[in-house]
Amino acid sequence: MPNPDLEGFRVAALVSDRFEESELVGPKQALEAAGAKVEIVSSQPELQAMRHFEPGGRYRCDQPLERARAANYDALLLPGGVINGDQLRLQPDAQGFARELVEAEKPVAVICHGGWLLISSGLVVGRKLTSWPTLQDDYRNAGAQWVDQEVVVDGNFVSSRKPDDIPAFNREMLRVFAAARQAKAA
Residue of 112, 129, 153, 178 marked active site: 112
Residues linked to residue 14 through DSSP beta bridges, in sequence order: 41
Helix (H, G, I), strand (E, B) or coil at 88: helix
Residue of 18, 28, 89, 113 marked active site: 113
Residue type, 30: A
Q: Is 61 known to be catalytic? A: no
- Give the separation between CA 137 and CA 18, rounded to whole angstroms: 23
Helix (H, G, I), strand (E, B) or coil at 152: strand
Q: Is 52 known to be catalytic? A: no
- Give the separation between CA 2 and CA 14, rounded to whole angstroms: 23
Residues classed as catalytic: 112-113
